[in-house]
Structure 1
Amino acid sequence: MTDAAKEFIPVNIAVLTVSDSRSLSDDKSGDTLQRMITDAGHVVVDRQIVTDDRALIRDHLRAWIARADVDVVISTGGTGLTGRDVTVEAHRDVYEKEIDAFSTVFTIVSMQKIGTSAVQSRATGGVAGGTYLFALPGSTGACKDAWTEILQHQLDYRHMPCNFVQILPRLEEHKRRK
């Protein structure tokens, strides 16, 4: 449900593709995320590709968390079960709080599309340094599903009864306490 009386508030989003084989010229999932983000009225402030290396992924996440112009980081790729899939671990290295229900809701959405194969996804979400972070699978379909079914709504200030944007200013309120 959307509250039409509220004004849309765009958020700044960085997109990270995790892949040993992709470049910006053939990164379909990254392209799809960038298009959906901008079509929704948000701003893609940075977009990068890194290899499936836990330290590199973690370093990119931390660098974006430190930037004042990044509200959200969305990564795609490296959430599976193989030995090279380390994106979830890198995300959890930086999370201050995990958004447990994101994984659950993503699984529910995926079940409707791919049935029990959804158990192979380890999509995750969390918060660090006042920044939201989401790790999505590398498939274009999974990125579309995560955006259209979850993130598009939660990153829209007008979404009711609640959304991530309305609490964004409060993510670091504990640092203001005496």
Structure 2
Amino acid sequence: MSHVSADAPFVPLGIAVLTVSDTRGFEEDGSGDLLGERLTGAGHALVERRIVPDDVYRIRAVISAWVVRDDIQAVLVNGGTGFTDRDTTPEALAPLFDKAIDGYGELFRHLSLQSIGTSTVQSRAVAGVIDRTLVFAMPGSPRACATAWDGILAEQLDARTRPCNFVAMVRPATPRCASRQAEAPVPGVEA
């Protein structure tokens, strides 16, 4: 953990939003709308927004494609974190994490306790780092997304937050060096 200097500037991040839902389209996606509005209002860029069904492999496919992009430093996933048979977001994400951010889920449930009481134990909010990209998953209600953004993410995705924040951990917004791009391709993996 590196400590932030008092004169640290704001660093806008490229953020993607993924809504996990079997039933919602963009017209009904109040949670995706809320996250997009909050992150752009904070000065970040909404790079891409998608909706996928609650399916482990479809979730992993989108996340895997996003974490290798140089213009995406963070991904916000909403939906699929409950306990029904169809809720598979944590199972989709956990194997991809290079490091889990356990404190995110703990803090989310703590904040959520104030508004929904002990029902917060049914939230499986998870977060982690994948290839220097931050991934935060939260329940799919607009209220839960507001709790996650307002209570945790707005500060932790702001380079000015002291004593520390996640911004220094994410990949730089500049492309990978030329020698890395010139490496031989791996068979079966698209560049």
Deviations 1:79-127 (A, max 9, x none): 0000000011111121111001111111111011111010000000000
In the other structure, the counterpart of 1:124 is: 126
Amino acid at match of 1:89: E
Deviations 1:34-78 (A, max 9, x none): 000000000010000000111000110000011111100110000
Amino acid at match of 1:133: V
Amino acid at match of 2:10: F
In the other structure, the counterpart of 1:142 is: 144
SS at match of 1:152: helix
Q: Out of 83, 106, 129, which is 1:81 matched to?
A: 83
Report the TM-score when normalising by structure 2.
0.85
Structure with max Cα Rg:
2
C-alpha deviation, 1:5, in angstroms: 2.8
Q: Out of 156, 159, 162, which is 2:158 matched to?
A: 156
SS at match of 2:128: strand
Deviations 1:17-46 (A, max 9, x none): 000111111100000000000000000100
Amino acid at match of 1:12: G
In the other structure, the counterpart of 2:110 is: 108
Count, aligned residues: 169
- CA separation in 2, counterparts of 1:72 and 1:4? 24
Structure 1 unaligned runs (5+)? 171-178
In the other structure, the counterpart of 1:98 is: 100
In the other structure, the counterpart of 2:182 is: none
Correspondence 1:22 to 2:24: yes
Identity %: 49
SS at match of 1:55: helix
In the other structure, the counterpart of 1:166 is: 168
Q: Contact between 1:58 and 1:93, CA under 8 Å: does it hold in 2?
A: no
In the other structure, the counterpart of 2:13 is: 11
C-alpha deviation, 1:4, in angstroms: 6.4
- CA separation in 1, counterparts of 2:63 and 2:95? 10
Amino acid at match of 1:61: I
Amino acid at match of 1:81: F
Structure 2 unaligned runs (5+)? 173-191
In the other structure, the counterpart of 1:176 is: none
Cα RMSD, aligned residues only: 1.5
| Superposed structure 1 runs of 4+ greater than 3 Å apart | none
SS at match of 1:166: helix
Q: Contact between 2:31 and 2:142, CA under 8 Å: does it hold in 1?
A: yes
Report the TM-score when normalising by structure 1.
0.91
Give the structure with the larger helix fraction: 1
